[in-house]
Amino acid sequence: MNVDTAPHKSTEILLEKWKQPELITGSEILLRSLVLEGVDCVFGYPGGAVLYIYDALYGFSDFKHLLTRHEQGAIHAADGYARSTGKVGVCIATSGPGATNLVTGIATAYMDSVPLVIITGNVATTLIGTDAFQEADITGITMPITKHSYLVRDVNELPRVIHEAFHIANTGRKGPVLIDIPKDVSAQKAMFEPVNEVNLRGYNPTVNPNKLQVDRLIKAIEKAERPVIIAGGGVVYADASEQLIEFVNKTQIPVTTTFLGLSGFPSGHELWLGMPGMHGTYTANMAIQDADLLISIGSRFDDRVTMKLEGFAPKAKIIAHIDVDPAEIGKNVHTDIPVVGDVKAVLSYANTKATPANSAKWIKTVQTNKAEFPLAYEDSEEELKPQYVIQMINDTTKGEAIITTDVGQHQMWTAQYYRFQNPRSFVSSGGLGTMGFGFPSAIGAQMGNPDKLVVSINGDGGMQMCAQELAICAINNIPVKVVIINNQVLGMVRQWQEIIYDNRYSHIDLAGSPDFVKLAEAYGVKGLRATNKEEAQQKWQEALDTPGPVVIEFVVRKNENVYPMVTQGCTLSEMLLGDEK
């Protein structure tokens, strides 16, 4: 990878350099402020309203700017960077259509609590409200899908606004913050002084929990005979994986990890049950249904986890919920022991008092289920099965790669058959389910982790939504391995139409899609194709041995379904285990 993502000077050196007030433009203030926030890579696309900012970027070397080929590619890349590194992702777009092209990506990050700072240009302050060329009220448009937003009308406010935006984005329940900068503000000059303090009245996220509530939970664990932990994305975002492992080892409670929580607990642990919910494992779903104590840690009881609420965890005498966002507690599921606080802080305190539950018999039960009802599919020597491809990728990477996915069947097969070993190694759109997310998010993940293997697993549908970003992989030699699971159809829609809509297949045929090998080659990227097991192994190894970016198309069976499956309106106990069951 020949892209230099490291800042050229340390923050300490730059603070010393810039400690004396200096008269500079708003655009220069923006760039300096980003550097002082530790930004090393920005994803963006220029336009008229941000030309002063891009003029200031001319020759600027204190962080890398990556020119994407679409604003949606930019924000998904910033999202992948943030999820995989734990840092705040940053993107820039111009006013009007540039800003509105970010909306889907903002909503994606908001649903999954990803810290982003989104910088948009706007028309000059004198033109706001006049329907000027490329004017859009982006702060109004994105109000429901941002954690906070700013419209900066005074250049003197920029240093404070930028510092506050990073603080808000990356504290409490994390999320996207938008800064809208009119063109004249980016051109005006002001005395720049770095801002190091934050004073936001009314914004004080709870970090440390009420210890009495944690003590209640510890007592409940001591009495429990069938406890289960549901670990969610909050474990990953709080960097609390080590604390969770310690907590599980001390309490001897089986763990199921939600879709976004998958990399937060090692899949090789003897007490890991798999993923719960619509496409969760039999072991995980039945454990939830039979549990007498259910402990949600950084999980929001999403509808794809609970399915029919009236039948969710019917035997649970006590439900505990640990979350940094008090609004989530009790929102979907009645909570008996609420614990508000940062997951890492909560578990750190809990580990000082944790003792084993009375769970020996229970552990034997869930481990028996795990042995008797493993994830399984009917393999084939004639056709390439998608599950086989995921298992092959897992085996060759030993669960150590950073995996990004798009949305659909391949996403669920990845969640089921890839065995994640490290936190922040799984990047996927959970709450919003955004097609087109997988590939550009891998670019961001690779920029944030230049020394790690990044594999992007996509369907043939989602890949075509942001395929143009292959250009920047080629130009910058970004070595993402782009996997396309090609079943020539909108697979998850087809599965629903088969099972729920009585085989009435409506507008799902993706015939006429491009030759993905030729598409890759057109952008200057190596393209490979496999149609059987032998080719799959050979082409995948060739991809791994290639130092730059590679696109590998695996042509798989069209009618393969994702199982287990719980259809809408059913409880977790009512699983379809396969075509034959």
Contact (Cβ atoms closer than 8 angstroms) between residue 208 and residue 345: yes
Q: And the tokens for 254?
A: 């089986």
Amino acid at 374: P
Q: Which of 1, 22, 60, 134 is catalytic?
A: 134
Q: Which of 9, 17, 133, 378 is catalytic?
A: 133
Contact (Cβ atoms closer than 8 angstroms) between residue 233 and residue 86: no
Q: Is residue 421 flagged as an active site residue?
A: no
Contact (Cβ atoms closer than 8 angstroms) between residue 70 and residue 37: no
Q: In angstroms, rounded to a whole number, what is the distance separating the alpha carbons of residues 91 and 66?
A: 9
Rounded to 5°, angle at Cα 256 from 480 and 318? 145
E-only strand ranges, 110-264: 116-122, 148-151, 176-182, 189-192, 227-231, 255-257
User: Which residue, 230, 422, 394, is CA-closest to 321?
Assistant: 230
Q: Is residue 87 flagged as an active site residue?
A: no
Q: In angstroms, rounded to a whole number, what is the distance separating the alpha carbons of residues 113 and 302?
A: 13
Q: In angstroms, rounded to a whole number, what is the distance separating the alpha carbons of residues 468 and 520?
A: 10
Amino acid at 171: T
Q: Which of 37, 63, 64, 71 is catalytic?
A: 71
What 8-state DSSP symbol labels residue 146? Answer: -
Contact (Cβ atoms closer than 8 angstroms) between residue 324 and residue 234: yes
Phi–psi pair at 543, nearest 5 degrees: -65, -45
Q: And the tokens for 400?
A: 């150590």
Q: Is residue 183 flagged as an active site residue?
A: yes
Q: Is residue 71 flagged as an active site residue?
A: yes
Contact (Cβ atoms closer than 8 angstroms) between residue 375 and residue 271: no
Q: Which of 286, 392, 463, 492 is catalytic?
A: 492
Coil/strand/helix, residue 260: coil
Q: And the tokens for 96?
A: 């009007």
What dihedral do alpha carbons 179, 183, 186, 190 form, nearest 10°?
-110
What 8-state DSSP symbol labels residue 383? Answer: S
User: Which residue, 28, 19, 94, is CA-closest to 59?
Assistant: 28
Residue tagged 């200057």 (tokens): 524
Q: Is residue 312 flagged as an active site residue?
A: no
Q: Which of 183, 344, 481, 533 is catalytic?
A: 183
User: Which residue, 221, 375, 356, 361, is CA-closest to 283?
Assistant: 375
240: left (phi over 0), alpha (psi -120 to 50) or beta: alpha
Q: In sequence order, which ranges of 21-120 are alpha helices (DSSP H)? A: 26-36, 51-56, 71-85, 97-100, 103-111
Name the β-bridge partners of 486.
555
Amino acid at 131: D
Helix (H) or strand (E) holding 555: strand 550-555
Q: In angstroms, rounded to a whole number, what is the distance separating the alpha carbons of residues 177 and 169?
A: 6
Report DSSP letters for 317-354, one per residue: SEEEEEES-GGGTTTSS--SEEEES-HHHHHHHHTTT-
Name the β-bridge partners of 150.
179
| Catalytic site positions | 71, 133-134, 183, 492
